[in-house]
Structures are given as C-alpha cells and as structure tokens.
Structure 1
Amino acid sequence: MESDSDVLLAHRLVDLSDELALRYFQQDVPSQEKADGSPVSEADLAVEKAMLEVLAAERPRDSVLSEESGADERGKLSVAPRRWILDPIDGTVPFLAGRRAWGTHVALEVDGELRIGVVSRPTEGKRWWARHCSGAYASTADSPLSTARRVRIPATVTALRRARVGGFLFPGSPVEAIRDRMCWVGESPVSLVADLLEGRVDAVIDEGGHVWDRAPAALLVQEAGGHVDDLRGGRRIDQPWLVYTAHGIARELTGLLKNTVG
C-alpha cells in the first residue's frame, strides 16, 4: 500500500526533475534519435539519473520503470509489488523546440493498481496530482501538496458533434477519418490531459502511448471523476489505445472508436 511518505516522495521527485530540466530548457542541448525514431536529450538522461538515484536510496526494495532506462528491478523479483513509473521529461520534442508542452510524469503502482500520480508543467509552475480514492488536485510548484483546488471533470452531457476532443495520434491514424464528427482541437500549448481535468476539452484520445506517458494521467482522470477506457473492455494502460473522457460522452465516443479502430 502507498503511504503519506510516498506522496511526499513523488512530489520531491517532480521538484527535482523540474528544477534540473529548467536548467537545460531553451539551451543548445545535445540529443540523439532512439531506435523508435523519437529523440532523447542530455537533459532527459540527466533528469532520469537524478530521479533513479533518489529512488535507489529511499526505496531500494521497489522496482522502477523509466522511459530511457526501461525496467529496473534492482535484482528483485519481477513481480515486486511496488513499482515507480517515471517519464523524466514527457514531451522531449516540444522541450527541445523551446515550447511549453513538457514536464515530468511520476506514478506509483502497488500490486498492479495505480495509487499515486503527478504530472507537472514547469514552465507554468503548475502540477496536477492524485492519490487513489482521495481525489485529484491542481497545485503549484510553491505549494505542491495543496488540496485547496480539487479538480473535477464536468459531466458534459452533450452530443459528440459538439464535444471538444484532442489526441495523440500517429500519422495516418484511423481516427483522422472520423474527426469531423466532433470538435477536434488537436494539440494543447501546455497539456491536453490538464485541459480535460480543467474542463477545456471533453476527451483525449491516446494512440500508442507508453505506460510512463499514461500512468499518472489515467489515475488523475479517474480521481477527477472522468472515464478511462482501453477500447477492450478495461482500463489497462499498456494497450494500443487509451481514451480519457467526461462521462457524458464516454459511451458515444468509445463506441465510435471501437467501430473505427477494430
């Protein structure tokens, strides 16, 4: 089970990563292309190294899954009950381009269930965090643990054609053929998931995202009263598709997507 100290540690990891990443932001940062074609920069690696060092010192029995280094079981059983999931710099492309849509993702999974999730946007001085069965909150870098502003996704009972929908899609995605059936908003200048949490969009479609991209977002949406669907009858974050929606359009949107993507 997670503890209050785990919540504190998750925020400390985000504090550390945000501070370090901002030192590199809008600088000439060396980068290279990974096997999947995505970039990894010197900043990604430095941030990840710092986060892993903290976890090795403070949670030596826990396993870790991090974007750049993969799974680190620290010599433990692969079925370790507690796993930290890290994306040191989510949004490396906008980070390297000097745009704002990047930050850190931290989640803690216990016995296969997401228990803590934090998403930050350092250029805005903001973060969104959640704890299982305790709600989702928007806070600032100055008061990261504040629960003064709880976020709740509006029910949004409306026809899909009027719903504001954004997404992370591959080129040639089958969703492109149905985007005219909704108010497609495309990308966000800061965070589509945060836009959903705060009522600026009604749904987010994620095609082919990784576990470290999705883990904190999935918990945040659930704790904010939204709907998470993997289009296969569950909420698994390791499937090809994941959809976050306000409940009012969940059935119509997920039904359309299931018929479209197969």
Structure 2
Amino acid sequence: MPQQPSSPSADLEFALELADLADSISLPRFRAADLRIDTKPDRTFVTDADKAVEDALRARIEAERPEDGFFGEESGREDKGTRRWILDPIDGTSNFLRGVPNWATLIALEVDGTQTVGVVSAPGFGMRWWAEIGGGAWGQEVGKDSRQLHVSGVSDLEHASLSFQSIEQWRLAGYLDSLLALEQATWRDRAYGDMWSYMLLAEGLVDIVAEFDVKPYDLAALVPIVTEAGGRFTDIEGNETAWNGSSLATNGHLHDAVITTVAAARK
C-alpha cells in the first residue's frame, strides 16, 4: 500500500486498505475471458467485478466502521449519522469490459456533507492517487516513490488544456454550444474520460475538466484530490457540490472564466 510522507489519518489508512482489497479483486478480472456482463435498468453496463468489489468493500466497512453510512453505485445508500463512505467499485466499466486500462475504484469519506478523504486506485495503469483535507494530494506509480500533486499555473483560457469527457454528455444536457465555445476559447481539447481527466488535472497536465450526467459516487473521491492539489471543484454553475449532476474542475485560476464562457454561450 502506498504511504503518504506525513502520517495519514486512520480514515485515510482505512481507505487505502479498501483500495488494496478492491485491486486484489478487480485486476484479476480485467481482460478475463469469462467476465460476466449485464445491462442495468438505466442501460449502463455492470460486470461481475463491479459487484464483487462493492460487496467486499461494503462488508469490510460494515465490519470495521459499523457506525458509518454507505453509498455505492451497485448496492445503494444507507445513511447512519454524519459519516458516509461513497464508492464506485469500477469507474469506467465500459473501458474495463473492453480491456481499456482507464478505470479505477473510487473511495471517498464524506463527513457532515464534506468529502474529507479520496482514493482513486487504477491498477490497470499501475497508479494510485489519494488525498485528505489538510494533508495534500499524492500519487504513486507501482514501484516508485509517492509524489505530491499540484495543479498547473495556467491562467488564460487561450493557453488551457480542456478535457470535456464526451460530446454526447454536453449535447443531452443542452450545453453543446457551451462546449463549442470552450473549445474555441482554449488551446487544446481532448476527452480523456472518467477519473483520469481529473487526475491529470491534479497532476498539472490538464487545466479544465467538465462533464454532465454524473452521480456522487463518480465525483466524491475526486474532490479532495483536486482541491488538495490546489484546484477548485464545483458543478457547472459554480456551486460547491458533488450532488448536482454536473462537474467543473479546474486549476482554480480558470474557474470563473469557464463558468462565464459556459453561461454566455447558452443565452
């Protein structure tokens, strides 16, 4: 398990242990010839690996943190008090089932409505990222030392790199004109996709990430990592929440300019 240079809290240590458990289940199923794939009522895919990871992590949380609540993509939500673990067992299931390594387990702890711990474990990439409020954001590649993450210093849209996730998301949300306006205003646009866009932002390699049709379990683990790396994380209108169905993450310098550009294109 990667170790943070300063002493991690008990909650972060537990989250990293959960990530180890998740990796031990998901990675052997990646590119497995007998992977089982089902379609959920919302027409998204779920694999046996998604279910197995969430079941194992939920059982561990219930055994070791019985007073904490839980919200997972596959098994739903159970609130208990002011603390809640929010999990996406495999973020990027479509990538996972096609054999594309851009997928990860997302683990967050939310306390009194604030995401205080976030872990993103991407064993297909051999990478893990983590953060807790006040402790900085960190990343580690397998076999290498951990390193602290910092967002970029880009302050002008014309020099910014944008990851917009997918054209379909923006079109269905009624924001296609805003996407085109951002594309024209920025230096470079790509759709790196899923959690990876946000980790590239935290590493200072991308400057803006935005998407729609996202759930709290898609975003909660990303928030502490982006913000502890020096970035800003809101919904597309600038509200500081992971619960409104959209996201906008930037290096902070560009945030207001992106919100202005998005809003102006919808008038």
TM-score between both structures, scaled by the size of structure 1: 0.89
- Higher deviation after alignment, 221-230 or 62-71: 221-230
Contact 1:85 1:108 in 2 (8 A): yes
Contact 1:100 1:189 in 2 (8 A): no
* Counterpart in the other structure of 2:154: 156
- Partners in 1 of 2:26 and 2:46 — Cα distance? 13
| 1:219 has 2:224 as partner | yes
The SS at the match of 1:191 is helix
Q: Deviations over 1:150-189 (max 9, x none)?
A: 101022122x133110022461252443223322112259
Contact 1:203 1:246 in 2 (8 A): yes
User: What amino acid is the match of 2:220?
Assistant: A
* Counterpart in the other structure of 1:111: 112
Contact 1:15 1:141 in 2 (8 A): no
| 1:168 has 2:165 as partner | yes
1:72 to 78, 83, 92: 78
User: What amino acid is the match of 2:152?
Assistant: P
* Counterpart in the other structure of 2:180: 177
* Counterpart in the other structure of 2:21: 16
How many Å apart are 1:46 and its aligned residue? 0.7
The SS at the match of 1:165 is strand
User: What amino acid is the match of 2:26?
Assistant: A
The SS at the match of 1:6 is helix
> What are the equivalent positions in structure 2 for 1:68-147 lying under 5 Å apart?
68-73=74-79, 76=80, 80-140=81-141
| 1:45 has 2:43 as partner | no
How many Å apart are 1:91 and its aligned residue? 0.5
The SS at the match of 1:127 is strand
| 1:241 has 2:246 as partner | yes
The SS at the match of 1:55 is helix
Number of residue pairs matched? 251
- Partners in 2 of 1:117 and 1:246 — Cα distance? 18
- Partners in 1 of 2:148 and 2:13 — Cα distance? 18
- Higher deviation after alignment, 243-252 or 161-170: 161-170
**CA spacing shift, 1:224–1:188, aligned 2, 3 Å:** same
- Partners in 2 of 1:127 and 1:259 — Cα distance? 37
User: What amino acid is the match of 2:153?
Assistant: A
User: What amino acid is the match of 2:111?
Assistant: V
The SS at the match of 1:133 is coil
Q: Which runs of 5+ in 2 are unaligned?
A: 1-7
How many Å apart are 1:233 and its aligned residue? 4.0
Q: Which runs of 5+ in 1 are unaligned?
A: none
- Partners in 1 of 2:238 and 2:73 — Cα distance? 27
- Partners in 2 of 1:94 and 1:188 — Cα distance? 10
Q: Deviations over 1:21-41 (max 9, x none)?
A: 011100131111112211011
Contact 2:103 2:194 in 1 (8 A): no
How many Å apart are 1:106 and its aligned residue? 0.2
- Partners in 1 of 2:91 and 2:12 — Cα distance? 20
- Partners in 1 of 2:123 and 2:104 — Cα distance? 6
- Partners in 2 of 1:190 and 1:87 — Cα distance? 11
The SS at the match of 1:43 is helix
TM-score between both structures, scaled by the size of structure 2: 0.87
> What are the equivalent positions in structure 2 for 1:201-212 lying under 5 Å apart?
201-212=206-217
**CA spacing shift, 1:18–1:244, aligned 2, 3 Å:** same
Question: Identity of counterpart residues, as a percentage?
Answer: 32
- Partners in 2 of 1:157 and 1:218 — Cα distance? 21
- Partners in 1 of 2:55 and 2:167 — Cα distance? 29
